[in-house]
Amino acid sequence: MQLTSNEKINFALLFLFVAIFTCKQLQPKEKVDELVIDGIHMRRQPCKEAMDEMFGRGVDTSKVCDCLFSNFYSFVKNDSALLQRFLVEQMVFTPEGHWREDYLLLYAACIRSNIVDSNYVLHLKPDMKAKFTGKFSKDFKAQGIPHGYNPDSLAACLVDKLDGGITIGEYFADDYSKLPRMQEMLLKCLADSAKK
């Protein structure tokens, strides 16, 4: 049986299509950097980017994220609302209410155990400075800062001094507020924030 030129072209195109399809299937697929916890696939990249932005080369971002994901999952798996938020957002978040303090301790423990350069100086991005300033101001107001001091000015001053003025090792020390450099910063800020 003799093939016509149209049949030869059709067979050639079919062969080419099969060859291309087979080659595409045999190519290695791009590996996704993820952690699997109880069958849940968590992408590491968003967490690693956030850790890099906050702590730079001061921490092993992969290990920090693994620690946060696995410990945070253990933390939220029995609370359906928190678990659902974790699954939807695919990211660790700061819970509100009575869970907040436990989460912050978990977060600090994950950072502390994965510091690779304790002398890395922290530099805060503008959005982080705003968050820290708001948190410190709120804390100062709740703690009843002594009369005659402006809690907002005190918070802003302290954040300005922390930015580029403290290492990751100092910040995540057991009680960084008692470190001599922190005491100096606080005293300077108290003097600067006294109401006139």
pLDDT grade, residue 195 (50/70/90)? low
Residue 196: pLDDT over 50: no
Query: 134 and 88, same structural domain?
Result: no
Q: Is residue 23 part of a domain?
A: no
pLDDT in tens, 149-188: 888 888 899 999 989 988 999 888 887 778 888 888 888 8
Q: Residue 160 has what pLDDT?
A: 93
Residue 20: pLDDT over 50: yes
Q: How far apart are CA 176 and CA 86, in angstroms?
A: 30
Query: 88 and 135, same structural domain?
Result: no
pLDDT in tens, 50-60: 889 888 899 99
Query: 103 and 140, same structural domain?
Result: no
Q: Residue 21 has what pLDDT?
A: 62
Query: 39 and 93, same structural domain?
Result: yes
pLDDT grade, residue 116 (50/70/90)? very high
Query: 105 and 140, same structural domain?
Result: no
Query: 150 and 94, same structural domain?
Result: no
Query: 177 and 136, same structural domain?
Result: yes
Q: Is residue 92 part of a domain?
A: yes
> Are 137 and 150 in contact, with CB atoms under 8 Å apart?
no
* Of 61, 189, 64, nearest in space to 133 by CA: 189
Task: State which of 14-23, 35-44, 116-125 shows the largest mean pLDDT.
Answer: 116-125
What does pLDDT average to over the chain?
82
Give the list of residues 6+ apart from residue 120 with CB closer than 8 angstroms, or none: 55, 56, 57, 58, 167, 168, 169
Q: Residue 19 has what pLDDT?
A: 59
Among 61, 88, 112, the domain boundary falls at 112
Which structural domain range is residue 165 located in?
126-193
pLDDT grade, residue 3 (50/70/90)? low
Query: 75 and 49, same structural domain?
Result: yes
Residue 193, exposed/middle/buried by CB under 10 A (0-12, 13-18, 19+)?
Answer: buried
pLDDT grade, residue 127 (50/70/90)? confident
Give the list of residues 6+ apart from residue 122 with CB closer than 8 angstroms, or none: 54, 55, 58, 162, 163, 164, 166, 167, 168, 171
Among 58, 82, 112, the domain boundary falls at 112
Residue 63: pLDDT over 80: yes
Q: How far apart are CA 65 and CA 54, in angstroms?
A: 13
What mean pLDDT comes out for the span 29-36?
73
β-bridge mates for residue 149, sequence order: 194
Q: Is residue 1 part of a domain?
A: no
- When divided into structural domains, the chain yields a total of 2
